[in-house]
Structure 1
Amino acid sequence: MEKAKLVRRSQRVAFYGVPVSGSEETPTYNRMEHFTSLTEGKNPITYERQYVDKDSQDSDVTGYGTTLEYGFDHHSDDPVLADLAKVQDDELTGETRDIVVVDFFDKGESKKDDEYVARKRTYSILPDSSGDGTDALQYSGSFSVKTDIVKGYAKVSPDGKTCTFSETVTP
């Protein structure tokens, strides 16, 4: 029997769809680097009721209001950070982006060295604050869910900086 191995936080990596200016083409998914936090909150929506024949209450999950809370140190020449900073600094409204979360610890059916189980969905950008800290320009906010999860596979570039997403395994 194989010994269980700890899954490190660094093995679940998010890739952000940076929009291509003036184009409807599929964005490039860039690795979300320099983030000090990227925490997923499921925020379950529940249906609760009390039945007359029971002393306790029943609760069922009927949906999710998933959010990703983020914080990052701003670095120049990073397209993900530049896009998020622009949304926040220019107080843009109604901005959504696709994020692909890749599990580097799970190759699923693929078993290929550069292809991993991934989940893609669209989020609204909800900026919160900037300017915290004395050493680095820091930003924080959250991404709030707009669409259901699309489960599939991410093919990651050799340098690990970009990925493409497909709902099926690459032949």
Structure 2
Amino acid sequence: MLKIAKRSDKVAFLEVPNTGGSGSKFYRMTGFKSLSKKMNPKEYSRQYVDEAFETTDIVGMSISQDFEFDQILDSPPHKHIIDIIDGEKLGADAIVNIVQVDFTQKGATDGEYVAVKRAFAIIPESSGDGTEAYTYTGTFKVAGQSVVGKATTTDKWATIEFTGA
């Protein structure tokens, strides 16, 4: 029997600054109705005169993640994202760090999992759509190199500690 990875096996955590500005913590991104990853490859295509076919190479990637969430009032990730969107923050003020934990890939020690951290710019799209819940939509677009590492927790995966390799 084939074992299929569930969507819930790949969980995202958003880095949120601590109140008062000293330090930060990675909180689980709960309440997201959509968080789909797109690779957005950059292609270089050409056809040489002595060949009957076109050749294509991938020369870059521009990772993005479309998101949609219902605003949850006591969610630190939601509050942080909403502060950026509603505050119309720009440049470095609109950059967040997200860690993707892969619960299908155990780490070297018990309770440790493979994780990837990356900086993303928040590109807002809309807010307030729907009549049942107040929703926000947009895209996280890559703003830095990925860092492969490991994630551990002390609170049943509500928050994580990330260590880069």
TM-score grouping bracket, smaller chain normalisation:
over 0.9
Alignment partner, residue 18 of structure 2: 20
1:40-75 deviation digits (Å, cap 9, x = unpaired): 111001111112222111111111011110000001
**Which residue is 1:88 aligned to?**
85
- Written as runs of structure 1 = structure 2, the 5 A alignment for 1:40-51 is 40-51=37-48
Secondary structure, aligned partner of 1:13 = strand
SS at match of 2:105: coil
**Cα offset, 1:86, TM superposition:** 1.4
- Name the residue aligned to 2:99: 100
Cα deviations by residue, 1:101-146 (Å, 9 ceiling, x for unpaired):
00011114x151x210110010111111000010100000011101
Superposed, 1:48-67 pairs within 5 Å as: 48-67=45-64
Task: Tell me how far apart the structure 2 counterparts of residues 121 and 24 of structure 1 sit (CA, whole Å).
Answer: 21
> Kindly, what percent of the aligned residue pairs are identical?
38
Q: What is the aligned partner in structure 2 of residue 157 from structure 1?
A: 154
Q: Which residue of 2 aligns with 1:30?
A: 27
Q: CA deviation at 1:21?
A: 4.5
The aligned amino acid for 1:138 is T
Using a 3 Å threshold, how does the CA distance of structure 1 residues 45 and 24 change in structure 2: closer, same or farther?
A: farther
Are 2:77 and 1:77 equivalent residues in the alignment? no
CA RMSD after TM alignment = 1.4
Task: Write out per-residue CA displacement over residues 4-38 of structure 1, whole angstroms, 9 at most, x where no aligned residue.
Answer: 3110000000000012355363x200000000000
1:7 aligns with 2:5: yes
Q: Which residue of 2 aligns with 1:115?
A: 112
Which 4+ residue blocks in structure 1 deviate beyond 6 angstroms? Answer: none
Q: Which ranges in structure 1 are unaligned for 5 or more consecutive residues?
A: none
Q: TM-score, normalised by structure 1?
A: 0.90
